[in-house]
Amino acid sequence: MPVAKEQIRQIIADNNLNSVADVYTLLRDGFKDILQELMEAELDATLGYEKNNKGNVETSNKRNGHSPKNLKSQYGGFRIDVPRDRNGEFEPKLIPKYQRDVSGIEEKVISLYGRGMSTRDIHDQLQDLYGIEMSAEMISKITDKILPEIREWQSRPLNPVYPFVFMDCIHYKVREDGRILSRAAYVVLGVTTEGYKEILSITVGANESSKFWLGMLNDLKNRGVQDVLFFCVDGLPGFKEAIGAVFPQSEIQRCVIHMLRNSFKYVNYSDLKKLASDFKAVYNAPNEKAGLEALSDVREKWGKKYPYAVSNWENNWEDVSPFFQFPDEVRRIMYTTNIIEGLNRQYRKATKTKSVFPSDSSLEKMLYLASLNVAKKWTQRYRNWDQVLNQLTVLYGERLTQYL
Closest C-alpha among 381, 388, 321, 402 to residue 163: 388
| Measured distance CA(162)–CA(191) in Å, rounded | 6
Measured at the CA of 185, the angle between CA 182 and CA 188, to 5 degrees, comes to 155
pLDDT in tens, 352-398: 877 788 888 888 888 888 888 888 888 888 888 998 999 899 989 89
- If pLDDT is split at 50, 70 and 90, which confidence band does 39 have? confident
Please report the pLDDT score of residue 330 as a whole number: 85
Q: In what order do the strands lie in the sheet with 227-233?
A: 197-205, 179-191, 161-176, 227-233, 251-254
- Looking at 88, 114, 145, the residue that finishes a domain is 145
Q: Examine the domain organization and report whether 202 and 274 are in the same domain.
A: yes
Please report the pLDDT score of residue 318 as a whole number: 86
pLDDT in tens, 93-108: 777 777 776 666 677 7
Q: Examine the domain organization and report whether 280 and 163 are in the same domain.
A: yes
- Looking at 92, 121, 145, the residue that finishes a domain is 145
- 3-state secondary structure at position 215: helix
Q: Examine the domain organization and report whether 85 and 169 are in the same domain.
A: no
Tell me the mean pLDDT in the region 254-276.
Answer: 87
pLDDT in tens, 124-175: 777 776 666 667 777 777 777 788 888 999 999 999 999 999 988 888 888 8
Q: What is the mean pLDDT of the chain?
A: 82
Q: Examine the domain organization and report whether 7 and 122 are in the same domain.
A: no
Number of domains in the chain: 3
More confidently predicted of 191 and 59? 191
Q: Examine the domain organization and report whether 123 and 156 are in the same domain.
A: no
Q: Examine the domain organization and report whether 219 and 361 are in the same domain.
A: yes
Residue range(s) defining the domain that contains residue 111: 104-145
- Looking at 43, 71, 103, the residue that finishes a domain is 103
Q: Examine the domain organization and report whether 232 and 357 are in the same domain.
A: yes
